[in-house]
Structure 1
Amino acid sequence: MDMAVESNVVSYAKVAAGARTAADSADRIDWVQLSLVYLPLATPVSDAKVLTGVQKPLTEIAFIFAEIRTRDGHEGLGFGYSKRAGGPGMYAHAKELAPNLIGEDPNDIQKIFTKLIWAGASMGRAGLTTQAISPFDIALWDMKARRAKLPLAKLLGAQRDSVQCYNTSGGYLHTELPQVLKNVETSRESGIGGIKIKVGQPDLGIDVKRVGEVRRLLGDNFPLMVDANQQWDRQKATRACRQFEAFDLTWIEEPLDAHDFEGHGQLAERFDTAIATGEMLTSFDEHAQLIMAGTDFIQPDAPRVGGITPFLKIMALGEYQRRKLAPHFAMEIHLHLAAAYGIEPWLEHFEWLGPLFNEQLQLKNGRMHVPDRPGLGFSLSEQAIAWRAEKTEFGKRP
C-alpha cells in the first residue's frame, strides 16, 4: 500500500474511533405525565346527528393531555380529545403506550410514532388506537419547535403568517334562527373571516330558509359554509346541494357518510359548490382514499389521525392532488399546520378551548395570526388543572 494512502487510512480510523454518533449524544425522554380533563360546555350542543336520534346533545369534551420532559430539560405539551364517548378509553390506552416513550430520543418522532402504532397493533391502526397516540406525537413536535425557539409553523416551513378563519359555534341546530343571526353579527364584528352554520333538518325547507336568512344578513360576498354532519343519503344530498347552489357557499360539509369517499367525489364533480369532508377519519390511509376520490376540501383533524406526524403526510398528498385544506376543530394546533400548507387554507374557530390555556390566539381582519411563542405556544391553565379527573406519571419526576 502506498505510504500516503496508508497514512490517510490510519488517520481516518483514529478519527472514526473517537467520533460520537448522533445516538451517542442524543437527549432522552425521562418523564411523561398524562391527564384526563373534562371541559364542560355552558349550553348542550346539537347538530343533525342529534335531530336524527343517532347521538345525544354534547355537554362536555374529554381531553387527554401529555406533558413530556427530557433528560436535558426540554418540555412539550400535546393533547387529544373525544366528544360524547371514548375519553376514558383513550386515556386507558394512552397509559398503556406511555412507558414506550421512556428512554427514546425525542427527536425521533417518526420512530416513536411507529413504535406506538405497533404497541397497539392488535387494536388496529385507526380509531381509538391512533387517537391515543396523538397527545404524545403533538407534544414531541411542540418540544422540537420549543427547542429550536420557533413557533411550530416556522419550524415546519410556514407559507403565511396568518390563516383565514371562520366560526362554527354560533350556528348549531339547537339555536333558534333569530339567535343564529345575532351570533353571526357578533362573529363578524369580532373580525371573523367566514361563517359556518349547521344544516340537516328532517325538513330540507327549514335548512334552506335558515341558510337564506344568514346569506341575506351577510351579503353576497362574505364567505358562508354549511355542515350536514353526515345525515343525508346520496339522493337527499343531491337535492340539497342543488338548492344550496343559489347561496354561493364556500363549501357544503359532510353531506354524506364520512366513509362514502366515492359519493363525496361525485358530488364534488357534479356541483359548482365545493364539497368538504374528512373530520371523522382517523388515519392517513382513510384520508388517502378520500383525497384520491376527489373531494374539494379535506378536513383532517390532527388529534384524530394520530398527531402531527400523519397529518403532515395527509397535507403532502392533499397538496399534490390540489385539494384545499380546512382542518377540523383544535385551532390551537391546526393554525400552525394550515400556515404551512401550499394552497390557501381555512381555519375553524372554536372559542370552547380558551379556558384550558393561559395564552390565546389573535384574530384580526378575518385571519388568525401565528403567535411568536415557541412551539404551539400554549401552557395549561389553573382551570384546566381544576377540571382534571385523573393523572398518571411515568419515569423520573422532573
Structure 2
Amino acid sequence: MPADSIRSVTLSTVTLPLGRAVSDAKVFTGRQKPMTEVVLLFAEIVTEQDQYGLGFTYSKRAGGPGQYAHAAEVAENLIGEDPNDIARLVTELEWAGASVGRSGLATQALAAFDVALYDLKAKRAGLPLAKLLGAHRDSVRAYNTSGGFLNASLEEVKERAGRSLEEGIGGIKIKVGLPDGAEDLRRVQGVREHVGDGVPLMVDANQQWDRATALRMGRRLEEFGLVWIEEPLDAYDVEGHARLTRALDTPVATGEMLASVAEHERLIEGAACDVIQPDAPRVGGITRFLRLMALADQRGLDLAPHFAMEIHLHLAACYPRETWVEHFDWLDPLFNERLETKDGRMLVPDRPGLGVTLSDRARAWTTASVSFGVR
C-alpha cells in the first residue's frame, strides 16, 4: 500500500463570463462568433492524509460540456491510487478513454487531473511548482494580450497598452489578420509609435492568412521590429510555417492550437517556427508539456506558452533559456490570489503548488459538479 492514496476526486465545470465580448481575426473572416465566456473544468483531489491538489483545463466557444463528461467517465480510476505516480496515472486515464483518441478534447479533459496531481505534489513538498520541477529563474518576461483584440478601437488598444506597461508588464501583443491588411498595418504602426521602439511588440493573426498573404504581410511588418508574428497560417500547415520561418527575419511563433505532443513533434521536426507556444491544458497537462519543453530545447527554440498564466508561469520558469508568459486578466475572478508583475516580468509566487485557490465567485459560477470516492 502507498504511504498515501487518493481518497476523493471532485470535478466542477465553471462558466466564466467575460466583461466584454472579444473578437480576433476569426470573427472578422466569418469563421467564429465573438467570445463571451470561458468554460473551465476544475479537478480537486484529496488524499487519505488530507493533502489537496487543484487543477484546471478550459475551452473557448465550444467543448466545455464534453470535457466535463469525459473527465467524469474516467475520474473514478484515480481512487485509491498513489498520487505521486503522476505519469503512470495519466497514462492509465488515457487508456481508460482510448476509444476517443489521445488528443483533442479527451486529452484536454485529462489535463485537469494532471495539473491537480502536480499541485498536490508541490504542496506536499512545501514548494512552488516551479521549484519542485527545477526553476532556472524566479521571474519570467510577461506580455499582455487581453488589451489588443480587434473589437477595440486603435485608441483603446493604445490606452490599454500604456496601462499594461505602467502595471509592470514588459511587452504588448495585438491582434491582426483583418480582411483589410492596410488596417492591420495602421494599427500596428499606431501602437508602435505609441509605446516606442524599445517596447517588445508582437502580433497575432490567429491562423487567418494564406501562404501568399502571410509572406506579403510578414515582409511589410519587418519594419516594426516585432518580437514575433504569431499564427500567421493554419495551425497544421507545417510546410507553410517552415517556408515562412526561412523567408522572414521576424521570428514566427505558433503551436497554441495543437492538442498533443505528436502534433508538436511534427512542428519541431519540420523547423516550422522560431518560437513554440504549447498550451499545457490543451496538450494534456504538465506531464506532456515537460516532454515538449525537452524537445523544443533540444532544437534551440524559444518558448512562450499560451494563456493560463497561473500554470504556465511555473513551467516557463523551468525552461533553460529566457521565455515569455502571456498575461491575461480574464481568469482573475476565479482565484483569491493575483500574480505579480514588476519591471516587465511576472514573478513566480512563493506559495506552495500553483499558488492559487478557488474564489467564492468561481464556486458561484459552477454549473455542474460530481464527486468520486467521498465517504
Q: TM-score range by the shorter chain?
A: over 0.9
C-alpha separation in 1, matches of 2:320 and 2:238:
23
Structure 2 regions of 5+ residues with no counterpart?
none
Report deviation, 1:62. 0.3
Aligned to 1:305: 283
- Does 2:138 correspond to 1:145? no
Q: Equivalent residue of 1:319, what SS? A: helix
Partner of 2:31: 54
What's the CA shift for 1:72? 1.5
Deviation at 1:269, TM superposition (A): 1.2
**How much does 1:191 deviate?**
1.2
Provide the identity percentage.
Answer: 63
- Any idea what SS the aligned residue of 1:134 has? helix
- Give the aligned partner of residue 87 of structure 1: 64
Deviation string, structure 1 residues 231-275 (Cα, Å, up to 9, x no partner) = 011011000101000100000000000011121122111111000
- In the alignment, does 2:210 pair up with 1:210? no
AA partner of residue 311 (structure 1): F
**Which amino acid letter does the alignment assign opposite residue 239 of structure 1?**
R
Q: Does 1:371 align with 2:349?
A: yes
> Please, which runs of 5 or more residues in structure 1 have no aligned partner?
1-23
- Which residue pairs with 1:323 in the alignment? 301
Give deviations 1:71-113, integer Å, cap 9, x for gaps: 1211100000000011001000010010111111100100011
Aligned to 2:16: 39
Q: How many residues align?
A: 374
1:173 aligned to 2:155? no
Q: 1:38 to 1:162 in 2, by over 3 A?
A: same
Asked if 1:386 is matched to 2:364, the reply is: yes
Matches of 1:310 and 1:168, distance apart in 2: 25
Alignment of 1:347-366 (within 5 A): 347-366=325-344
Q: Secondary structure at the match of 1:60?
A: strand
The corresponding residue for 2:169 is: 192
**TM-score, normalised by the number of residues in structure 2:** 0.99
Moved more, 218-227 or 25-34: 25-34
CA distance in 2, matches of 1:310, 1:242: 35
2:261 is the counterpart of 1:284:
yes
Alpha-carbon distance in 2 for matches of 1:86, 1:212: 36
Tell whether the 8 Å contact from 2:5 to 2:80 is kept in structure 1 after alignment: yes
Q: Please, which of 72, 77, 82 is the counterpart of residue 105 of structure 1?
A: 82
**Residue 130 (structure 1) aligned to one of 107, 122, 131:** 107
Aligned-residue offset at 1:26: 3.0
Which of 207, 210, 226 is the equivalent residue of 1:233?
Answer: 210
**Counterpart-to-counterpart distance in 1, 2:283 and 2:77:** 20
Alpha-carbon RMSD across the aligned residues, in angstroms, is 0.7
After TM superposition, give the deviation of residue 396 of structure 1 in Å.
2.4
Q: After superposition, what is the alpha-carbon deviation per residue over 1:308-367, rounded to whole angstroms, capped at 9, x for unaligned? A: 000000000001110100000000000000000011000000001110001111110000
- Counterpart contact for 2:2–2:82, Cα < 8 Å: no
User: Displacement, 1:69?
Assistant: 0.5
* Residue identity in the other structure for 1:242: R
